[in-house]
Structure 1
Amino acid sequence: PPQNKPKGSEIRACADFLRQELNCMPNLKVILALGSIAHNSALGVFQLRRSNWKFAHNSYHDLGKGPVLIDSYHCSRYNTNTGRLTEDMFYAVFRNIRELIPIKGC
């Protein structure tokens, strides 16, 4: 998309779809937001104020209802080429998520 960001109208058009998808997953434990747009969209689904839940890489947000929200910088070419997001940083997010989700047999 232009300037590597979707338009506001595109984000709003996807909001109902996101809400429906999340409602179909009653056992969902974690939402991984890849970028601030995904972070804000997830907050919108739960009707939470963005000012109370700041986006930050590898941050954990207990929203008080439903799954927790984990943030990561988006794994775009821009973020990886500029070093904003390194491979180690990205893997650290998944290690933290793994600690939150018990996997049977492991």
Structure 2
Amino acid sequence: MSAFTLADLERIIAERAKASPEESWTAKLIAAGPERAAKKLGEEAVEAVIAAVKGDRDELIAESADLLYHLLVVLLSRDVALRDVLSQLEARTVRSGLAEKAARSR
């Protein structure tokens, strides 16, 4: 099992965002604005869904990696820290998913 974490990826993305858009895909996405990064996130989400439906494990792994990367780029583009998302997820674990969803729909 890899010791690589989403926090590691978040840090790398933040570093690469400072590079020239001609040298870094991350910098290019950030320079294009949050809308472009969000569009790319949506495309990757669809590709991950298709891989899951097809049952292609290797493709699902690859597309999931793309999806997580692009999500972190979108978060950076909107100045949202991964720790804030993780805090939200942690707060939701205090009760079952069904109870949590029911509370949100009120």
Q: Name the TM-score, length of structure 2 as normaliser.
A: 0.29
Structure with more helix by fraction: 2
Q: Name the TM-score, length of structure 1 as normaliser.
A: 0.29
Structure with more strand by fraction: 1
